[in-house]
Amino acid sequence: MTREDTNGNTTVLAIRQGSLRGTTDGGVTAFRGIPYAAPPVGRLRFRAPAAHPGWPGVRDATEAGPSVPQGPGRLAPVMGARTPDWDEDGCLNLNVWTPAGAVGSDRPRPVLLWFHGGGFANGSGGWDWYDGARLAAAGDIVVVTANYRIGPLGYLHLPEVGADNLGARDQAAALHWVRDTVGAFGGDPDRITVGGQSAGAYSALALALDPATGPLVHRVILQSGPWSLVPQAPEDAAHAADRFLALLGIERDEHLAKSLRDVPAADLLDTYARVAVELARPGDSAPPMYPVLGGFGHPEAWPTGAARGALAGKGVLVGSTTHEATAFLGPDAPADLVAAVTRAAFGEGVDALARECAAHGTPAHVYRFARASTAVPGLGAPHCADLPFAFDRLDAYAAAPMLGPVDAQDRALARAFSGALAAFTATGDPGWPAHRPGVEPYVHRFGGS
């Protein structure tokens, strides 16, 4: 059921949990801050996501919900800083953008469920960086962005209290919510593309490979995934957890779960930052807590899953930026070092995925994003440089050194790149050929000279 108010720009939509009030602008209706799971607070902290009980009346879905608790973003010097907007209570929320004519239509639209990056420690699907309105309009698709627990709340490894890849559990819960609910928004639950950037790409691939969630995934979009990163070894995750508990002064005893629930979220974040400093190793950019091998959602490393053909029958769009590593090494890093780190951390994985897909008859479309920063030329096209263009949201990155001043050519590039992502979601064809066995991988270049 839908209805519009007298101003014609507010839409009320009934879903399983209750009614939502969203806004329509430019032919796309947005519903923001929708809870897909119960607030992970109190007895639900450090536990698998629980079903949301729903709400009475009409819930205001005109504003984004809070972010998951997190510290400052590591890439703020490249992307621009964010004003903290986190609140543990209500952080498991998502946002839906749907073509205005999709709701109630007999022609359900393809769906893109997209996860933000941030090193498994930062980010939010509700930020204006990831506003999906133009992406939805570009392909006549339904776009969903979702939060998931990150940092210690998402990846502290304490299976004895239920803390087992909780961020991955949240992502799976969001996927199931989309499968069960997106029809009310005019989306097709049988045509769900799961995508993301950086840690979000890593997570999207895991959802596609895992036998428990893979059947729900029709296609995948993988932007700048950190493919050299294999899931954390359980013994390393246990060591990080031990240091975390020791710094908090918490014992591994029968009161462990309660003791952790009693710690303010800000103190958990401060302690996580201390653990990150303690466990940092030269040349290793891995966070202290991230998906654990053998835990929920990560039964195997991604190369193993790809090699056994787990992506067979799914379309794949995978790519990277030309100078990924400058985001981590800085704009003054030697060009040969940038190229080597970019290749090792990102490029080799792109090629490996394309080869494995081709070997199993799965079309894999490969791209490289090359538009360089106009504010800090030494950055080139760093990690995250494609994000303003993927969502066609250049205005949301006005203060981002990785972007700089934009012109008409940049706006055309944004339409082209977001259009390719939207077209792939809708049809499986972004506009260029897939990699073929025995042929040099066909890489479509966006931007640059």
Q: What is the pLDDT of residues 126-159, one digit of tens each?
A: 999 999 999 999 999 999 999 999 999 999 999 9
Task: Kindly state whether residues 401 and 327 are assigned to the same domain.
Answer: yes
**Measured between alpha carbons, how far is 351 from 39 in angstroms, rounded to an integer?**
40
Closest CA to 286 of 246, 342, 345, 239: 345
C-alpha gyration radius of the chain: 21
Which among 19, 198, 203, 373 is annotated as catalytic? 198
What are the C-alpha distances in Å from 221 to residues 62, 132, 317? 27, 15, 5
- Measure the CA–CA gap between 22 and 19, rounded to whole angstroms: 10
Q: Using the Cα atoms of residue 129, residue 148, residue 259 and residue 233 in order, give the sign of their dihedral.
A: negative
pLDDT reading at 449 higher than 80: no
C-alpha distance from residue 191 to each of 86, 174, 194, 403 (Å): 32, 15, 10, 33
Report how many domains make up the chain: 2
CA atoms within a 13 Å half-sphere pointing along the CA-CB vector of 229: 27
Q: Are residues 260 and 306 in the same domain?
A: no
Q: Is residue 300 part of a domain?
A: yes
198 a catalytic residue: yes
Q: Are residues 312 and 190 in the same domain?
A: yes
In a domain, 287, yes or no: no
Same domain, yes or no: 177 and 251:
no
CA pair distance 293, 213, nearest whole angstrom: 16
Beta bridge partners of 299: none
How many C-beta atoms lie closer than 10 Å to residue 400's C-beta? 24
Would you say residue 8 has pLDDT above 60?
A: no
Whole-angstrom Cα distance, residue 356 to residue 303? 9
Which of 88, 300, 324, 356 is an active site residue?
A: 324
Spot the catalytic one: 52, 157, 298, 383.
Answer: 383
Q: What is the per-residue DSSP string for 206-227?
A: HHHHSTTTGGG-SEEEEES--T
Q: Establish if 310 belongs to a structural domain.
A: yes
Same structural domain for residues 385 and 255? no
- Angle (nearest 5°) at CA 282 between 247 and 76: 75
Using alpha carbons, select from 191, 261, 150 the residue that is nearest to residue 425. 191
Query: Does the active-site annotation cover 116?
Result: no
Residue 286 lies in a domain: no
- Please report which confidence band the pLDDT of residue 6 belongs to, taking 50, 70 and 90 as the band edges: very low
Which residues make beta-bridge pairs with 22?
11
pLDDT at residue number 281:
85
Same domain, 238 and 221: no
Does 117 share its domain with 252? no
140/23 Cα distance (integer angstroms): 17
Contact present, 230 and 203 (Cβ < 8 Å): no
What is 74-117 written as a DSSP string? TTHHHH------B-STT-SEEEEEEETTTTT-SSPEEEEEEE--
Tell me: pLDDT of 280 over 70. Answer: yes
pLDDT digits (tens, 9 = 90+) for 320-352: 999 999 999 999 999 999 999 999 999 999 999
Predicted local distance difference test score (pLDDT) of residue 440: 67
Paired sense of beta strands 28-35 and 18-25, if any: antiparallel
Report whether 157 contacts 240 (CB < 8 A). yes
Cα separation, 258 vs 250, whole angstroms: 10
The answer to whether 164 and 292 are in contact (CB under 8 A) is yes
Residue 160 bears catalytic tag: no
Contact indicator for 122, 70 with CB cutoff of 8 Å: yes
Residues 128 and 184 in one domain: yes
Question: pLDDT tens across 295-308, in order?
Answer: 999 999 999 999 99
Q: Which two tokens stand for residue 201?
A: 């790409």
- The answer to whether residue 285 sits within a structural domain is no
What's this model's pTM, rounded to 2 decimal places?
Answer: 0.96
**pLDDT tens profile 378-433:** 999 999 999 999 999 999 999 999 999 999 999 999 999 999 999 999 999 999 99
In angstroms, rounded to a whole number, what is the distance separating the alpha carbons of residues 42 and 28?
37
To the nearest 10°, report the CA torsion of 203, 209, 213, 218.
90
CA distances from 176 to 67, 82, 93 (A): 20, 30, 13
Q: Which domain holds residue 181?
A: 2-228+293-446
Tell me whether residue 194 is in a domain.
yes
Residue 79 domain-assigned (yes or no): yes
Q: Residues 198, 238: one domain?
A: no
Confidence of residue 282 (pLDDT cuts 50, 70, 90): confident
Domain check: are 17 and 91 in the same one? yes
Whether residues 241 and 97 share a domain: the answer is no
**pLDDT value of position 185:** 97
Do 143 and 260 share a domain, yes or no? no
Number of helices (H), then strands (E), belonging to the chain: the values are 14, 13
- Per-residue model confidence (pLDDT) at position 9: 85
Which DSSP category does 347 fall into? I
The CATH number covering residue 221 comes to: 3.40.50.1820
**335 within domain boundaries:** yes
Q: Which residue has the tokens 């993988």?
A: 222
